[in-house]
Every structure is written in structure tokens, then in C-alpha cells.
């Protein structure tokens, strides 16, 4: 079954600095990859999705992710961090369940933004 | 856009009582909804797939009699935690797949935090 690994449970950056959150997928090339964001005590919101149409995917709030097959990676980046970006970020890959795809989530990375 | 509403957002109950959590799709029909459980500082664990008009499909290790799921209409799925105990305290999140959203994207509710005393 497909899975994703998120390196680093916490990432701390200064406001205005580059944000890099790492995600690596296992085994074969997945048909889709997702990044979700979760603000405190809230559900998950889709940031962006990879569908093999393009390796560089742009999402909401200035985030983007690049699919690199050679590195089995789908890292999330943002050029300049904002205080409001502080949240939990989850990488996800679809797993088949009952004939349909269900997201399987990584362990999450907590983004901390310092003033 | 598509909205999934969960109620209550927070609930505190005594050990041994049952708690019902509702998940509604507000402006679309959802034949399938998914229930996740999230422990503090951890990822989401899929508990079960709720299917409108039929029995839910539970993931391995999830107790069917403990976590009762009912999906009686195309816009409502409920999760009932029966005879709750402190170890059932968690953040429960439901989600639904929106037709036309593409690429198997799920829309999530805001979650329900259950605390069992």
C-alpha cells in the first residue's frame, strides 16, 4: 500500500523566511499526491494536489510543491512565511479502499513561524 | 463551495455514557462519508467509511460496536461513541468526497473534540 513519510515533526522559521516541508512517497509513482493544512482545532483544508498533469503544482496561500520522481519527493514550499501560516501540514497519498481512493496521511509537520 | 458541517465541535461526557456526533454535507449530496480519528500531535487515522443506505465499512482494529455509524440520508452521517471511556477521548473528523472536485479530493468538517471524564 502507498504511504508517505514526512521528515521533521516540527519546522521553525522566521517570518519572511523560506518554508520547506518535506514529504517522500513510497514504492511506485502514485496517481495523486496532496498537501492539506490544519489550523488548531479545525478540520483539514486542501492546499494543493498533484495529478501528473504538471510536476510543479501551485496551491492556495502562496504554497507550491514539486513532484520529483527521481527523489520520490513532493516537498511543500513557500518563498516567504507569514505568521498566519503557523499550522499543521499533512502530506497524503491515495490508498484504495472499497474500489475508491482514500487519502492516507503522513504524520504531519507542525510549522512554527517566529516574528 | 462544498461545506461539511460537524456538530458538536466540543463535547464532554461522563464515562459510560454515549455521545453522538453529526456530519452534514450542506450544499451537496454525499453517498459516502469518511470518519477519521486524530490523537494529539498525530496524524489522522481512518476509522470507517460511511455508506448511505447500507452498513459502514470499518478499518481493521476499529470496534464496530463501540463506534456506531449511521448514514440514513444523502446529507447526514452520524458517529455514536457508545459507553465512552477516557481512552476514547480524541478529535473526530468527518469528510466527504465532492463530485466534480476531481482527483479524489475530500472536504473535511471542522472536527469534534470529545473528552470523556
Q: Which of A1, A4, A44 to mutate to test the interface with B (most CBs of B within 10 A)?
A: A44
A98: nearest CA partner in chain B: B57
pLDDT of residue A3: 85
Which of B42, B49, B95 is opposite residue A97, by nearest beta carbon? B49
Residue contact A49–B109, C-beta within 8 A: no
* SS3 state at A77: strand
Higher pLDDT, B59 or A2: B59
At B39, the pLDDT band (50, 70, 90 cuts) reads: confident
pLDDT of residue A97: 61
| Average pLDDT value for chain A | 90
For residue A52, pLDDT beyond 90:
no
For residue B71, pLDDT beyond 60:
yes
pLDDT tens, residue by residue, A60-101: 999 999 999 999 999 999 999 999 999 999 999 887 765 667
In percent, the amount of chain A with pLDDT more than 90 equals 66
pLDDT of residue A13: 97
pLDDT of residue A100: 65
> Do the Cβ atoms of B45 and B61 come closer than 8 Å?
no
pLDDT of residue A73: 94
| Mean pLDDT confidence for B19-35 | 92
- Listed in order, strand segments (DSSP E) in B1-117 are 4-7, 10-13, 19-25, 32-38, 44-51, 57-58, 67-73, 76-81, 90-97, 106-108, 112-116
Distance CA A39, CA A57 (A): 22
Q: How many CA atoms lie within 13 A of B64 on its CB side?
A: 8
Weakest-pLDDT range from A27-36, B3-12, B46-55, B64-73: A27-36
| Mean pLDDT confidence for B76-87 | 96
Q: How many angstroms separate the Cα of B92 from the Cα of each of A11, A68, B85, B100?
A: 25, 33, 15, 26
Weakest-pLDDT range from B6-15, B37-46, B88-97: B37-46
User: A2-28: string of b/e by CB count within 10 Å (b at 16+)?
Assistant: bebebeeeebebeeeeebebbbbbeee
pLDDT of residue B104: 66
DSSP-derived letter for residue A40 is T
Residue contact A41–B105, C-beta within 8 A: no
Residue contact B41–A9, C-beta within 8 A: yes
Which of B46, B57, B111 is opposite residue A42, by nearest beta carbon? B111
The alpha carbons of chain A give a radius of gyration, in whole angstroms, of: 14
For residue B65, pLDDT beyond 60:
yes
Residue contact B104–A45, C-beta within 8 A: no
How far is A106 from chain B, CA to nearest CA, in Å? 6
| Average pLDDT value for chain B | 90
**Residues with Cβ within 8 Å of residue B80, at least 6 apart in sequence:** B18, B19, B20, B21, B67, B68, B69, B70
Residue tagged 469534534 (cell numbers): B112
Q: Which of A102, A104, A110 to mutate to test the interface with B (most CBs of B within 10 A)?
A: A102
For residue B44, pLDDT beyond 80:
yes
Amino acid at each position: 500500500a502507498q504511504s508517505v513519510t514526512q521528515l521533521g515533526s516540527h519546522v521553525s522559521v522566521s517570518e519572511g523566511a523560506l518554508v520547506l516541508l518535506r514529504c517522500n512517497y513510497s514504492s511506485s509513482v502514485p496517481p495523486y499526491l496532496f498537501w492539506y493544512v490544519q489550523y488548531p482545532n479545525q478540520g483539514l483544508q486542501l492546499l494543493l494536489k498533484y495529478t501528473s498533469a504538471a510536476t510543479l503544482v501551485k496551491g492556495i496561500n502562496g504554497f507550491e510543491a514539486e513532484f520529483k520522481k527521481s527523489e520520490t519527493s513532493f516537498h511543500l514550499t513557500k518563498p516567504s512565511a507569514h505568521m498566519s501560516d503557523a499550522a499543521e501540514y499533512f502530506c497524503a497519498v491515495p490508498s484504495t479502499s472499497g474500489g475508491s481512493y482514500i487519502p492516507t496521511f503522513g504524520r504531519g509537520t507542525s510549522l512554527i513561524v517566529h516574528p | 463551495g462544498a461545506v461539511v458541517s460537524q456538530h458538536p465541535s466540543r463535547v464532554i461526557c461522563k464515562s459510560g455514557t454515549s455521545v453522538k456526533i453529526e456530519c452534514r454535507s450542506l450544499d451537496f449530496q454525499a453517498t459516502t462519508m469518511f470518519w477519521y480519528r486524530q490523537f494529539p500531535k498525530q496524524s489522522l487515522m481512518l476509522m470507517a467509511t460511511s455508506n448511505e443506505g447500507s452498513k459502514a465499512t470499518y478499518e481493521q482494529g476499529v470496534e464496530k460496536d463501540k463506534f456506531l455509524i449511521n448514514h440514513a440520508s444523502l446529507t447526514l452521517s452520524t458517529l455514536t461513541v457508545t459507553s465512552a471511556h477516557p481512552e476514547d477521548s480524541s478529535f473526530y473528523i468527518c469528510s466527504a468526497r465532492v463530485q466534480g472536485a476531481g482527483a479524489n479530493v475530500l472536504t473535511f468538517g471542522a472536527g469534534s473534540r470529545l473528552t470523556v471524564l
